[in-house]
Structure 1
Amino acid sequence: MAFSLMPKTTEFFDLFDMQAENLVQGSRLFLEIVNEKKFEDVSAERMHALEHKGDEINHKIVNVLNETFVTPFDREDILALAGNMDNIIDAMYLITKRLSIYKIKETTPELKQYAVLLEKSVLTLQKMVKTMRLGSKAMKETLKYCVEINRLENEGDALRDKAITHLFEESKDPIFIIKWKEIYEAAESATDMCEFVANTVETILVKNN
Structure 2
Amino acid sequence: MAKKKEVNYFEMMEDAMRHACDISDRLLELIRDFGQEKTREKLPARLDAIHEIEHDGDRVHDEIIYELNRAFITPIDREDILLVAHDIDKITDNIENVAFRLWMFNVTALRPEMQEFVELIRKCCGKAAEVLAEFGNFKKSKVILTLIRQLSEYEHEGDTLYRTAVKNLFTNETDLLEIQKWRELYHDMEICFDTCKEMAQSVENAIVKNS
- Decide: shared fold, TM above 0.5: yes
CA deviation digits over 1:159-182, x for unaligned, max 9? 111111101111110000000000
> What is the RMSD computed on CA atoms of the aligned residues?
1.3
User: How do residues 81-160 of structure 1 correspond to structure 2 at under 5 angstroms?
Assistant: 81-138=84-141, 140-160=142-162
Matches of 2:146 and 2:7, distance apart in 1: 23
**What's 1:70 paired with?**
73
Match for 2:139: what amino acid? S
Matches of 2:164 and 2:52, distance apart in 1: 32
Runs (4 or more) in structure 1 with deviation over 6 Å come to: none
Matches of 1:68 and 1:36, distance apart in 2: 46
Tell me whether 1:42 sits opposite 2:39 in the alignment: no
**Aligned with 1:137: secondary structure?**
coil
**What's 2:178 paired with?**
176
Give the unaligned 5+ runs of structure 1.
1-7
Match for 2:126: what amino acid? L
> Alignment partner for residue 53 of structure 1, among 31, 34, 56?
56
Matches of 1:97 and 1:71, distance apart in 2: 37
- Percent same amino acid at aligned positions? 29
**Aligned with 2:48: secondary structure?**
helix
Matches of 2:155 and 2:46, distance apart in 1: 25
**What's 2:12 paired with?**
15
Matches of 2:74 and 2:54, distance apart in 1: 26
**Aligned with 2:74: secondary structure?**
coil
Q: Which moved more, 1:102-111 or 1:124-133?
A: 102-111
Residues 14, 129 of structure 2: 8 Å contact kept:
yes
Matches of 2:91 and 2:50, distance apart in 1: 12
Residues 171, 177 of structure 1: 8 Å contact kept:
yes
Residues 7, 67 of structure 2: 8 Å contact kept:
no
**Aligned with 2:110: secondary structure?**
coil
Residues 44, 97 of structure 1: 8 Å contact kept:
yes
Between the two proteins, the alignment pairs up a number of residues equal to 201
- Normalised to the residue count of structure 1, the TM-score between the two structures is 0.92
Give the unaligned 5+ runs of structure 2.
none
